[in-house]
Structures are given as structure tokens and as C-alpha cells.
Copies of this chain bind each other. A is one copy, B any other.
Amino acid sequence: MSPVKVFGSAPFTNVVRVLLCLEEVGADYEIVDVDFGDREHKGPDHLARNPFGQVPAFQDGDLMLFESRAICRYILRKHRATDEANLLREGDPSESAVVDAWLDVEALRYEPSVHAVFVQRRVVPALGGEPDERVIAESIARLRETLAVYEARLEATRGYLAGGEVSLADLSHFPYTRYFMEMPYAVPVFGAYPRVTAWWERLLTRPSVRKVAAMMSGGEG
């Protein structure tokens, strides 16, 4: 059986999310680079894979998918026979619903705050602009509110966001948090929440995370 294909490369946060899941389940996969410099992402071949002209796209035989969290769900369901692939908890309706809830918190609440800081600190200067400090301050304030809820949640579960064991909801935080941790806000913001910090450090010890982190840095892939 030919391996699945991921279109898009490791530095992109939404590609990273997919790679993490593939590594978690031990799937064979092939990375197909999409040349943004050449505007390949807006060309007809890639728009047929992802109609919004973004990465990742994902191919498994006749199935072509986009939206990173949807791709992650598909990968984890396909491999759910293994213990490692129980990251959606779909055997138990209540547990899987709790994973869904915290995955939506990541997508709809956590990521927008961190993304806004990333854009102001990394993207705007790269384009020759000045970061908007008001946007940064508001985003950091929203992030702190979210992390305060995480801190209480992690105290209650004594482990991870959706319960005592790791789930997709936790792993989905990795891509943007990795970049956030390289910025000067990381220590003051995360340092105020010891259980969140311990949770992040636990995620960093996972083999999937270590491998994909190296790919983000250009060490592999």
C-alpha cells in the first residue's frame, strides 16, 4: 500500500499538527513540498487539493482532505486499533466528547491569541512593518485568561486537558506553542501557571513531538 501524502512542509503549524498524528500512530507517509515562492499553493493542482490554497492537504488513495484537525481525526480513526491511536477516545462517547470540547478550545480560543502575537512579532516585521503593540497586549491578556482555565483544569485531571491521558486536544497545542516559546512573552506568561508549564514539558518528551520539532527546525524532512 503506498504511503499517505502530506502536501506542505514542517515549518507550517497546520502541517505540524498532521505530522504529529502520523508519528503518533507510526504511519508511513510522504511529504510533498508546496512551493510558496513560486505561488504553487494558488495553482490549479494545489487548489484541487485544498480549495483555499493553503497547506496542508492530505491524500490517502482516492481521498483528498484539507483542514488539519479534520485530517488528524481521519488518521487517528484509521489507526484506532492500536493503543497509541486512542487519542480521540472514540470508544467512549463521553470521553470523546470531552476531547472534542478541548480540541475546540484549542482551535477557537487558544490558537487565535497565540496566532495574533505570532503575526505581529514574526510576520509583520518580516514584511517591513511595525508590530501593533495594542494587538499584542490584548492577545496576551486573552491568552492569560485561557491559561488560567487550563491551570485549574490540569489540577483537576492531574494530567492532560481531556483527562488523565494525552489526547489530540493536547497535541494540537504543540505547533503554535513551539513558536510562542521562542518569543520573549513565553517565560512571564507560561511561568505564572506551573501546571500548564509541567503539561507543556511533558508533551515535549513525547517521541512524536521530539521528531516533529526537529523537522520544524530543518533537522529532518
Which residues of A line the B interface, CB within 8 A? 51-52, 62-63, 65-67, 69-71, 73-74, 77-78, 93-94, 96-98, 100-105, 107-109, 149, 152-153
Inter-subunit contact B65/A98 (CB<8 Å): yes
Inter-subunit contact A70/B108 (CB<8 Å): no
Q: Which residues of B contact A97 (CB under 8 A)?
A: 63, 65, 70-71, 73-74
Determine the distance from Cα of A106 to Cα of B66 in the docked complex, in whole angstroms. Answer: 13
Given contacts A70-B98, A70-B101, A73-B96, 13 further A-B contacts (CB under 8 A): A52-B105, A52-B149, A62-B94, A63-B94, A65-B97, A65-B98, A65-B101, A67-B104, A67-B108, A74-B97, A78-B93, A104-B107, A107-B107
Determine the distance from Cα of A2 to Cα of B70 in the docked complex, in whole angstroms. Answer: 33
For A60, the closest partner residue in chain B by CB is B94
Q: Which residues of B contact A109 (CB under 8 A)?
A: 52
For A63, the closest partner residue in chain B by CB is B94
Quick one: given A63-B94, A107-B107, A108-B107, are A74 and B51 in contact (CB under 8 Å)?
no
The 22 listed contacts between A and B (C-beta, < 8 Å) are A51-B149, A51-B152, A52-B105, A52-B109, A65-B98, A65-B101, A67-B101, A67-B102, A67-B104, A67-B108, A69-B104, A70-B97, A70-B101, A73-B96, A73-B97, A73-B100, A74-B100, A77-B93, A77-B96, A104-B107, A107-B107, A108-B108
Determine the distance from Cα of A129 to Cα of B101 in the docked complex, in whole angstroms. Answer: 33
Determine the distance from Cα of A70 to Cα of B89 in the docked complex, in whole angstroms. Answer: 13
Quick one: given A51-B149, A63-B94, A149-B52, are A70 and B107 in contact (CB under 8 Å)?
no
For A148, the closest partner residue in chain B by CB is B51
Inter-subunit contact A51/B153 (CB<8 Å): yes
Determine the distance from Cα of A94 to Cα of B97 in the docked complex, in whole angstroms. Answer: 20
**CB proximity of A69 to chain B, nearest CB, Å:** 6
Inter-subunit contact A66/B149 (CB<8 Å): no
6 smallest CB-CB distances across A and B, nearest first, come from: A70-B100, A70-B101, A74-B97, A67-B104, A67-B101, A51-B149
Determine the distance from Cα of A65 to Cα of B149 in the docked complex, in whole angstroms. Answer: 15
Q: Which residues of B contact A52 (CB under 8 A)?
A: 105, 109, 149
